Amino acid sequence: MRFDVITLFPGLFAPFLTSGVTRRAYAGGQVDVRLWNPRDHAEGNYRRVDDRPYGGGPGMVMLAEPLLRCLEAVRAERAEPRESQAPLLLFSPVGRPLDHAAVERWSASAGAILLCGRYEGIDQRFIDAHVDLQMSLGDFVLSGGEIAAMALLDAVARLQPGVLHDADSHQCESFHPVLDGLLDCPHYTRPEEWAGRRVPAVLVSGQHAQIARWRREQQLAITSRNRPDLLDAARKAGRLSPADEAALPDA
């Protein structure tokens, strides 16, 4: 898959694309990431990409014309038929929050063009004319869309075959359908006792059925305590067994 990132700060992506386990996806071409700077498509000596907002107010707004030229350059290089061209995704508070289901859809897609806004935002006329989707990381504001773009790229890259050491490890993580959308259980490693705290006895018992049940009960308890909305969703979808219901703290 291919992701083209339109950003005024392409340098932010250099360490991200060469660090951690997900670098395998980028280096191996499973996730092809290409960076585009709208400033390269701006006019004048100063290569302006922003201007004051009409109506007054603080901050600056990204100009539509440099963004359009940049987008046209991306689309020319991708050379896709109009009916199947990659969607333009803008990271914005207006968008739906990114969740695991969306990450799975993107991980199985052909990619997209990611638009990272800056300043007070982007001229709405460009958004109306060219943006296909908007997405948010949550109910807070960032300085720009770059961190959100990295979050999507990282989440998608780690789901590609061969990227993680254990091909099945991502299936046992929070929000995954294998866990019925619940939060994951606690994890422990050596030594067996650390700072006066011992690993739960069941985990060193060798009793795999008991370990599996303990982990499930922990997932239920942690989700009930921290994200009851996820528990409600699992219940409505019929994913909780009678044993699960009996194990809940308030059962």
What span, in angstroms and rounded, lies between the C-alpha atoms of 145 and 33?
15
pLDDT in tens, 34-58: 999 999 999 988 999 999 999 999 9
What are phi and psi for residue 136, nearest 5 degrees?
-130, 150
Whole-angstrom distance, CA of residue 134 vs CA of residue 251: 40
Going by pLDDT thresholds of 50, 70 and 90, the confidence category of residue 248 is very high
pLDDT in tens, 51-106: 999 999 999 999 999 999 999 999 999 999 999 999 999 999 999 999 999 999 99
pTM of the shown model: 0.88
Asked if residues 91 and 136 have their Cβ atoms less than 8 Å apart, the reply is yes
Residues 108-166: pLDDT tens digits? 999 999 999 999 999 999 999 999 999 999 999 999 999 999 999 999 999 999 898 65
pLDDT digits (tens, 9 = 90+) for 171-187: 556 667 767 999 999 99
